[in-house]
Amino acid sequence: RLAAVVPSKARAPHLADSFALELHSPYLTAREQVLGIAEEVQTGPVMTASTIGDSSKT
């Protein structure tokens, strides 16, 4: 019954504390990679309901 209340293995620090995730090396690496992706900026939609099927627009 004690095993149902107390986990048998200690959890990794970055999993036990949600704020510690920001200090976890793989998380920091992934966050930097995501932030390094250039954001797509467009002035408007490329395809609208009126241009669907229109072969002159690419």
User: pLDDT tens for residues 21-42?
Assistant: 777 788 889 989 988 887 766 6
Which residue carries 């704020």 as its tokens?
19
Q: CA-to-CA distance for 51 and 36, rounded, in angstroms?
A: 33
Q: 12: pLDDT confidence band, cut at 50, 70 and 90?
A: low
Residue 32's nearest CA partner among 43, 40, 24 is 24
Q: CA-to-CA distance for 57 and 27, rounded, in angstroms?
A: 41
**How much is the pLDDT for 4?**
60
Q: What is the rounded (10 degree) CA torsion for 41, 44, 46, 47?
A: 140
